[in-house]
Amino acid sequence: MSRFLERLSSGGPIVADGGMGTLIADASPKGLRAPEEANLVSPETVVAVHVGYIQAGAELIETNTFGANRAKLAAKKLDEEVERINSEGVKLAREAREVSGRDVLIAGSIGPLGEGAAAVDRAAAYAEQAAALAARGVDLFMVETFSELDDLATAIDAVRSVSGLPVVALLTFDPDGETPAGVGAAEAAARLVELGVAAGGANHGAGPQAALTALAAMKRALPLAALPNLGLASRWGNRIVYPHADTEYFADFAAQARELGARIIGGCCGTTPGEIAAIRDALQSERHVAQPIFMRERTPRTHGVASSEESGFARALREGRFAATIEINPPKGGSDEGLLELCRTLRDSGKVEFLDVTDNYTARARMNGIMASAAIEREVGIETIPHLTPRDSTVMGLESILLGAHAAGLRNILAITGDPPDVGDYPGSTGVYEVDSIGLCKIMQKLNSGESYAGKSLDAPTSFFYGVAVNPTADDVDEELRRFEQKVEAGARFAITQSQFDLSHFDRFEQLLGGWPIPVLLGVFYVTSYPLALRLHNEVPGMVVPESVRERFRAAGTDAMQVGLEVARELVAAALGRVAGIEVIAPFKAPLAALDVLPEPSPSRDGGSSTGTVLRPGSSS
């Protein structure tokens, strides 16, 4: 049996060390590309940090190699130093052990591959690092700060392919006892037992309480370990800072962790020798916590069922009512009075049942489309179909927007990728684009099933009726077909096409699809001049204005607006009975003119109008 396994099975809990990266970065020369580079350029700093933890009472120290894998080091132009950085990391930990005169255990620290994982063979990268650590003489491996169980399993298997040393496996948990990937602590513990690790538990994460919550759910399924962050990090300028927690708080954490079955107790980011000394004192004195730190076990996951509530737009499409469309843009200023007055006029026309509201159309900042839609529904009483683009928000931001929209009563969403910001008022900006419109659909699909994109349970599921854009005149039709099929797979319930000027491309696209799998609304652009027809055809990607149509505008001269109305009406007449509805993009600054394009309403099954009017523009799909 190894020294580590003997110590793990006898005596009190093992006191581990604390955070390395911040302390090393603060004490090392400026220009350090990664904390692990200090093993080469500032070895005395690394030794000093190790010694500080040993003097504070740590019986187990980790090598300064958490991010020393080929994938992460490549991002810092250090990938040719993988073997040397890991080897030196063990050497410096051994030097610290000799300097201190205490026979501490040395754990080889291995963390996830990070953003560079796609560029390397995952198993090979983990094995390469483990081999270098084992060759220099570590006592065990600490495979830590993982968020995905499958990735953790890959790392463990890779370590075992090059060494028979014990493995401690640690995942990071939130305050609810779930990993960022949505795995509960109890499920994680069961998997770690299957993987046969020497110990497992929580490190990093949201702080001591999150670690305790995870340990409580693990229920002593295996020897447990808890090495949490000091607390939640925040950013001050270019620095990441942690709260100044009372060391007594960490002493109480250590006492509770011991009572929950922890056999290894230490710290992670933000912790210092002060916190480790508090852990040592608490364990040596067998400290009892009269008032436990708040924690709660993770309640069993229950996937909600999306509400059966149906939007008016969804009902119109289900009943086969023809839904017509027009574009409306939110204002550029901070007042919505003009917008609401326009919507009242459209409502009073008797032709408008729905409004489609754009989201920073053509990458120019306007009032938020979701906020505008909520105001329209509240003040005017017309159901909206707001656009939403991932251009301007992270996945977390998109989820936040959608949850707020649902709470405000919005149910219809048109998911579009959105025009890149550098084509509008923000040259040089790249946008966020963590996901595209397909990813946005997947987010709503998850929310409707009762969980977040990361797999976290929601208090209640959403009931979004979401659709997508599709372009039959795309330059690469095969790619457009592929993307459209992926959107349908992601749960899209309807589609709106790019503006068309005849049905030839639409028919060809439908034929290639083998029929429309979801209701489709045809895009109709009310063009008012020959120059505009030329610009649309030549300057707008994916838009085709046939030569015969362009010639009609050229020959019309001053009567071009009338020709535009005739072209739009002809297309609408041709589309009746073939599509679920239409969209009309109104003339610039003349949204009421779109009313002239709409077909006359006819009685519906419930005695109301059979034409619902949706307002929207074309946009990147």
| pLDDT tens for each residue of 52-61 | 999 999 999 9
The model's pTM is 0.67
Domains 3-284 and 312-531+567-614 belong to one CATH topology:
yes
Residues in the chain with pLDDT values less than 50:
294-307, 603-610, 613-619
CA distance 14 to 225: 9
| Residue whose C-alpha is closest to residue 605's, from 315, 243, 222, 178 | 315
Q: Domain spanning 3-284: which superfamily?
A: Homocysteine-binding-like domain (3.20.20.330)
Sorted by where each begins, the domain ranges of the chain are 3-284, 312-531+567-614
> How far apart are alpha carbons 515 and 512 in whole angstroms?
8
Distance separating alpha carbons of residues 115 and 111, to the nearest angstrom: 12
Q: What is the pLDDT of residue 244?
A: 60
Rounded to the nearest 10 degrees, the angle between the axes of helix 504-513 and helix 477-489 is 60
pLDDT at 176: 82
Do the Cβ atoms of 253 and 208 come closer than 8 Å?
A: yes
Closest-CA residue to 370 (of 310, 430, 412, 309): 412
Q: What are phi and psi of 305, to 5 degrees?
A: -105, 130
What SS3 state is found at 284? helix
Token pair for residue 27?
């004490």
Domain 312-531+567-614 = CATH 1.10.10.10: no
- Looking at residue 601, what is its pLDDT? 63
Q: How far is 288 from 412, CA to CA, in rounded Å?
A: 55
